[in-house]
Amino acid sequence: MNGSARVRIEKMVYGGAGLARVEGRSVYIPFTLPEEEILLAPRSETSEEGRIQSVLEPSAQRVAPGCMHFGVCGGCQYQQASYEEQLRIKETILRTMLERNGVPVPEKLQTHSAEPWGYRNRIRLRLDSFEGRWRVGYVMRGSRVFMEARECPIAAPLLWRAAQAFVASSQLVPAQSREVEFFCDASEQTVQLSLSLNAAMEEMERESPKQFRKLCDAIRVSVPELSGAGLFVRPVTASTKTSKRGVPAEQAEEIEIVAWGEPKLLYKVDALGRKYTHAIARGGFFQVNRYLVQELVELALGERQGGLAWDLFAGAGLFTQALVDRFQQVIAVEVAERAFGSLRDFVAHSSHQAVRETCVGFLRKRVASTAMRKPDLIVVDPPRAGLGEELCGLIAKVEAKEIVYVSCDPETLSRDLRKLLNSGYRLAELHLVDLFPQTYHMETVTVLQR
């Protein structure tokens, strides 16, 4: 073990920690801020992570955390920073990551933010049975160990009220329960509950469905906003480990085996002077920041209009709905069953199309076809893995005039932008949209033109 060391934080890095050097070696220290002087706790020779013993010279931007679990819980990394400082840190990290990949950052990187607390419209809580009662929580930082949560101030208050009502009805929670998710609309009028069992259908206890309905009735007494709920199981047994399609058990989409109340949550979004309603199935993707969904749609759509638009990784159709108002034809591509259901219902009886396929499969066919109609606009909004080599190559071959790339990971975004810029696009706009305050995560909207 080394003794304590005094270090100065050089900069913040993606992932939440501050970087300092000890005897020429990089040390990553969570919960610090730029330029702070820190006394490090003794640490092992090999560990790259440093622990604060004391903050010798605190930053003027250091504030008291807003949550009692900060530092222990794995969810938030930046509650020690004022909100203005969190935004500055994210801007600097984004710039650095893009420039490191040779992506020229426009002088005017535009940042969009809103209320930094109570913003989440969805929380997924771990469940733990303790002395005959259920506890809800998250995992501890850097581990898979359960941590009981007594508050979560980044969640909409309705979600936490529903979680408390769930705990208060502990005697009705099925024995094999593993996780519970709450999802509410932007104005907290309705909330949906999804309960996941740690069992496949054939392993489920006989009483579970009946008990689940009783549980929902009980919660509804104290939370009248509860509009619907579903009980989910894994599609595979623990013994087989993989589903019929060869997907590992932990990645397979869970199956809803009991439904209570309304099947979908109606999520209203006013954007671009229009009112849109999205019908989101339990377990279907939707953006998590209830204060910034409108702005995200407005940034992605801008003044764009034309003949044909493709919406790739379309989810339940957040962008698709606005695109159909501006383009003669829209083709939306989504692979997940629950999100696709909403998309298919939305385009039914119109000239627009919803395609249930992987984006790479969709593009391979289009690019190989001699009859491909070139879209004016391609919107892409992939998960954190980004587009990747093949998809970037295929998209470049389409030669659409404009691409809007919505990303939740600056690392994969930088890699993909490098490829797209090399294939004839130029970066016209870059927006940082802070969908995830108090955490290191960030959303961006990039506009590419050729």
Ligand X SMILES: C[S@@+](CC[C@H](N)C(=O)[O-])C[C@H]1O[C@@H](n2cnc3c(N)ncnc32)[C@H](O)[C@@H]1O
Could you give the CA distance from residue 322 to residue 297 in angstroms, rounded to a whole number? 8
Tell me, residue by residue from 271 to 310, as one string, x for binding to ligand X by CB under 6 A and - for no binding: --------------xxx-----------------------
- The binder of ligand X chosen from 230, 315, 375, 437 (CB under 6 A): 315
Annotated binding residue at 334? yes
Annotated binding residue at 313? yes
Neighbours of 168 (CB within 10 A): 15
152 among known catalytic residues:
no
Catalytic residue among 67, 216, 359, 408: 408
Q: Which is nearer to ligand X, 260 or 310 (CB)?
A: 310
Tell me, residue by residue from 157 to 186, as one string, x for binding to ligand X by CB under 6 A and - for no binding: ------------------------------
Identify residues 333-392 at the interface with ligand X (CB under 6 A).
333-336, 339, 358-359, 381, 383
Q: Whose CB is nearest to ligand X?
A: 315
Could you give the CA distance from residue 104 to residue 446 in angstroms, rounded to a whole number? 12
Q: Which is nearer to ligand X, 73 or 442 (CB)?
A: 442
Q: Which is nearer to ligand X, 164 or 358 (CB)?
A: 358
Q: Tokens 């749609």 sit at which residue?
A: 297
Q: Which is nearer to ligand X, 315 or 437 (CB)?
A: 315
Q: Which is nearer to ligand X, 149 or 363 (CB)?
A: 363
Q: Tokens 């529903």 sit at which residue?
A: 162
- To the nearest 10 degrees (0 to 180), the angle between helices 157-168 and 208-222 is 130
Annotated binding residue at 362? no
What are the phi and psi torsion angles at 408 (to 5°)? -115, 15
Could you give the CA distance from residue 287 to residue 300 in angstroms, rounded to a whole number? 14
Quote the tokens at residue 115. 């209320």
Q: How far is the CB of 171 from ligand X (least distance, A)?
A: 36
Helix, strand, coil shares of the chain, percent, nearest 5, are 25, 35, 40
Annotated binding residue at 45? no
DSSP line for 78-98:
-TTB-HHHHHHHHHHHHHHHH
Strand pairing report for 37-40 and 52-57: antiparallel
Quote the tokens at residue 197. 């069992």
Residue list, annotated binding site for S-adenosyl-L-methionine: 287, 313, 334, 381
Residue positions annotated with a catalytic role = 408
Binding residues for ligand X, rule: CB under 6 A, are 285-287, 313-315, 318-319, 333-336, 339, 358-359, 381, 383
